[in-house]
Amino acid sequence: MEQSLAGRSALITGSTSGIGLGIARLLAAAGAKVMLNGFGKPEDIEAARQEVAALSGGVVPAYSAADLSDPAQVRAMCAEAEAALGSVDILVNNAGIQFTSPVDQFPEAKWDAIIAINLSSNFHAAKAVLPGMKARNWGRIINVASAHGLVGSPEKVAYVAAKHGVVGMTKVMALEVAQSGITCNAICPGFVRTPLAEAQVGPLAQKHGVSEEVALRDYLLAKQPSKRWVEVDEVAHMALYLCGPGSGAVNGAALSIDGGWVAA
């Protein structure tokens, strides 16, 4: 039976490409009205909007260019989504950035930016949409965390700190809404096949003097026992499940989708 989200509205951050766009496509195909958010070339953003529209019967999604490092812009985006869509029934906090460096060399500006976008924006967006969800006694908040929300890796201090914070925040929100029709869960992907991730393979192959196949298996996916990418659609289907009627008892969970990474 196909999942139906007819009558629901979703705001997905960081959704002009990658995981966010994959989730937007699937939610739209299930009948939800959506708002996209993210950066990119205007023609690429328009192409993403038209792609989503084609899956939703021609309904072109709303779009916000909000900079999620700015709390005021996050709040304005949520208000804009409520005006454009009629409500925000589903919030998917997906936007994120990355930077790697040892702790003692980690630029403070990079730390501040990663915490602001990967962690604080989730809080500001959830705070903005929760009153409406409570008034309607229904809502789904999905925080896209990471395997790094459950385990650590060297040279990723800000990213790991932020994603651990996302998982902790998810638990608190879930406890607070546990007796309502609202749920809050975190999805924790491993390495997902996106253009940005795939672009890392070539440089790794050159660095280690191996083929791209070996670089992918033995270096990039070294911690992922499946030795294959997690596909965008696999993450999107998990998000779709969490939005559907059969997921109401799933609350406060950090759901791994990482090819066995955190099982090791």
Q: What's the rounded Cα separation, in Å, for the pair 225 and 139? A: 34
What pLDDT does 245 receive?
86
Phi, psi of 56 (to 5 degrees): -115, 20
Instruction: Tell me what percent of the residues of the chain surpass a pLDDT of 70.
Output: 99
Domain layout of the chain by residue ranges: 9-192+231-258, 193-229
Residue 100 backbone dihedrals phi, psi, to 5 degrees: -120, 140
Q: What is the mean pLDDT of residues 196-209?
A: 92
Count Cβ atoms below 10 Å from residue 108 Cβ, excluding itself.
Answer: 8
What pLDDT score does 188 carry? 98
Average pLDDT over residues 234-251: 96
- Tell how strand 62-64 and strand 182-189 pair up: unpaired
Closest by CA position to 232, among listed 195, 186, 194, 187: 194
pLDDT tens digits for range 61-103: 999 999 999 999 999 999 999 999 999 999 999 999 999 999 9
Q: What is the pLDDT of residue 264?
A: 84
Verify whether residue 159 is a known catalytic residue.
yes
CATH fold of the domain at 9-192+231-258: Rossmann fold (3.40.50)
Mean pLDDT in the chain?
Answer: 96
- Sheet with 254-257, side-by-side order of all strands: 62-64, 33-37, 9-12, 90-93, 139-144, 182-189, 254-257
The arithmetic mean of pLDDT across residues 16-34, rounded, is 97
Measured between alpha carbons, how far is 190 from 222 in angstroms, rounded to an integer?
11
Q: Do residues 185 and 170 lie in contact, with contact meaning Cβ atoms separated by under 8 Å?
A: yes
* Average pLDDT estimate for 221-237: 97
208-228 mean pLDDT: 95
pTM: 0.96
Beta bridge partners of 12: 36, 92
Q: What is the mean pLDDT of residues 32-40?
A: 97
The active-site residue, picked from 63, 159, 219, 241, is 159
At 173, the amino acid letter reads: M
* C-alpha dist (Å) from residue 138 to 131, 134, 187, 248: 11, 7, 20, 10
Q: Which two tokens mark 214?
A: 């070996």
pLDDT at position 1 over 70: no
**Stretch 124-148: mean pLDDT, rounded?**
98
Q: What is the mean pLDDT of residues 177-200?
A: 95
For residue 2, is pLDDT > 80? no
Adjacent-strand bridge partners of 57: none
